[in-house]
């Protein structure tokens, strides 16, 4: 890891839930591992009236609940508290930013932070265009003595048009290399391990193509519903909330060509080529290769769960999707003809995210005693969460007479690395932002290309009131017709359990 320069992390929206639950606990965990620079200051900015002391008290409560190092000594917590400062301003008013300019000058003087500023926009999206403009008005985007960087949370636009406009606006005030568009999925260790699995192991790369892979399947399932976010979610939906960003980023990691080096430019260039190779969805595809679903009320384990339309803040006649399944192709030399299947949904049986590589069966089936094995075939499962790890399903002979073939699991679990600390996603991404490493952040052209791919789906649903919306009972794996999307009776989705490797023995949900 390179040397991290002294700096100020300015968090806009510091009174919000993300700062309380994720950002400050992640920063404290970095502090406990001595990964922060010596002269490092955190400045919380929002409209809420806090003093430094009351802001510190609130953040300490978040640390005790959500940090990995939940029980720090009073001495450690006191040292960290000295790094926390607060400024209340009206963030929608340009004239208020002179207060921020003066506050940063004072911090630079008092704490020797060198004029290096990392601005984190943990705010409503309506402020993503305003705050950079106001920072520029007072020269905080120039970096006369140090660097200015800008981290922006998702959602980055609500469609391809707003995403293009936001990118255009940001580039008026900041250069592309100063802008860090965060996707917390890319901060997960198991997501980054996709690159290592592919490019550090000579046994996989020769097989990672259309000659040996039958199909690729990616699932991101949530067991919870909208959890009080009905007002936001009813406007967003699963396609915007999960597919356009998280799932397409996973697709890019699975499908990209080997980069020339492990660097931000090389990796993001290869991911961009994947987005450019996504076969555009035509009208026929929008009818037959996209499944839209919405969860309905059901009784599960003696408890009743509301349907989506019964949730607070949701239109009783809403047609917003809580489930999306999609089949598509990548038109390039490596993946020509290989179908990719992705799905995501709320109120599913368990919370699980994983990538499944389905290998083609052997050309001649010598051992025909177990048709179930030949239906499923060899699978490589890259589990993102929970029970993080890697699973290879392979055929073995059952002891005894004959040649009965049984599927067995060969697996590795991250939890087996008992002496290894696995950092949280925000820890890694914040640390990379401080270092100026954009490898795990989304580049503007890649984000626009991902929006271009999903925009026809949004337009189709908007302009075709008869476009199907399938109901599925809460606690199930989505609409029944999703199985037909992936192949029907002989070929179905992998239905994962919370436990990765014992899925053939018992299934924990």
Cα–Cα distance between 457 and 463 in angstroms, integer?
Answer: 10
Cα–Cα distance between 390 and 492 in angstroms, integer?
Answer: 21
Q: What is the dihedral of CA 137, 440, 262, 202, to 10 degrees?
A: -170
Cα–Cα distance between 177 and 445 in angstroms, integer?
Answer: 12
> Is residue 476 within 8 Å of residue 350, measured between CB atoms?
no
Identify whether 109 is a catalytic site residue: no
> Is residue 89 within 8 Å of residue 96, measured between CB atoms?
yes
Q: Give start and end residues of each alpha helix (H) in 188-317.
A: 189-199, 230-238, 248-255, 264-277, 283-288
Q: 3-state secondary structure string, 152-192?
A: ECCCCCCCHHHHHHHHHHHHHHCCHHHEEECCHHHHCHHHH
Instruction: Give which of 151, 137, 161, 197 is closest to 414, Cα–Cα.
Output: 197
Segment (H or E) for 397: strand 389-397
The active-site residue out of 85, 246, 304, 385 is: 246
Contacts of 61 (CB under 8 A, 6+ apart): 20
CA distance from start to end of the chain: 38
- Residues with a known catalytic role: 246
């Amino acid at each position: 890891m390179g040397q991290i320069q002294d700096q100020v992390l300015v968090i806009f929206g510091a009174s919000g839930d993300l700062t309380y639950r994720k950002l400050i606990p992640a920063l404290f965990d970095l502090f406990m591992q001595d990964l922060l620079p010596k002269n490092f200051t955190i400045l919380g900015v929002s409209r809420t009236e806090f003093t430094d002391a009351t802001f510190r008290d609130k953040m300490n409560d978040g640390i005790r609940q959500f940090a990995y190092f939940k029980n720090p000594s009073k001495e450690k917590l006191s040292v960290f508290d000295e790094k926390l400062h607060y400024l209340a301003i009206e963030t929608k008013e340009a004239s208020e930013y002179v207060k921020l300019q003066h506050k940063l000058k004072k911090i630079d003087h008092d704490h020797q932070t060198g004029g290096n500023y990392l601005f984190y926009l943990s705010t409503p999206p309506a402020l993503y265009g305003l705050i950079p403009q106001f920072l520029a008005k007072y020269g905080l985007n120039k970096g006369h003595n140090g660097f200015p960087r800008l981290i922006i949370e998702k959602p980055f636009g609500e469609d391809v048009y707003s995403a293009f406009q936001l990118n255009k606006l940001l580039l008026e005030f900041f250069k592309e290399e100063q802008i860090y568009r965060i996707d917390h999925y890319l901060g997960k260790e198991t997501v980054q391990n996709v690159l290592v699995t592919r490019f550090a192991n000579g046994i996989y790369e020769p097989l990672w193509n259309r000659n040996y892979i039958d199909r690729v399947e990616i699932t991101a399932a949530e067991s919870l519903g909208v959890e009080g976010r009905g007002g936001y979610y009813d406007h967003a939906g699963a396609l915007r909330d999960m597919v356009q960003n998280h799932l397409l980023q996973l697709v890019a990691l699975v499908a990209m060509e080997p980069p020339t080096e492990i660097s931000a430019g090389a990796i993001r260039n290869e991911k961009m080529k994947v987005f450019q190779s996504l076969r555009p969805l035509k009208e026929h595809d929008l009818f037959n290769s996209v499944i839209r679903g919405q969860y309905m009320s059901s009784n599960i384990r003696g408890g009743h769960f509301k349907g989506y339309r019964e949730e607070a803040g949701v239109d009783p006649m809403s047609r917003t999707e809580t489930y999306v399944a999609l089949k598509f192709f990548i038109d390039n030399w490596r993946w020509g003809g290989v179908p990719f299947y992705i799905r995501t949904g709320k109120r599913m049986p368990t919370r699980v995210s994983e990538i499944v590589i389905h290998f083609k069966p052997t050309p001649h089936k010598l051992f025909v005693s177990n048709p179930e094995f030949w239906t499923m075939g060899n699978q490589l499962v890259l589990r993102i969460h929970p029970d993080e790890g890697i699973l290879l399903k392979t055929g073995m002979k059952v002891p005894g007479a004959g040649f009965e073939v049984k599927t067995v699991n060969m697996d590795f679990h991250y939890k087996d690395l008992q002496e290894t600390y696995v950092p949280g996603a925000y820890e890694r991404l914040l640390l990379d932002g401080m270092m100026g490493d954009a490898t795990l952040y989304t580049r503007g052209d890649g984000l626009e290309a991902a929006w271009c791919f999903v925009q026809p789906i949004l337009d189709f649903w908007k302009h075709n009131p008869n476009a199907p919306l399938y109901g599925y009972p809460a606690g199930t794996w989505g609409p029944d017709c999703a199985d037909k999307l992936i192949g029907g009776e002989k070929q179905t989705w992998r239905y994962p359990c919370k436990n990765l490797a014992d899925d053939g023995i018992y299934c924990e949900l």
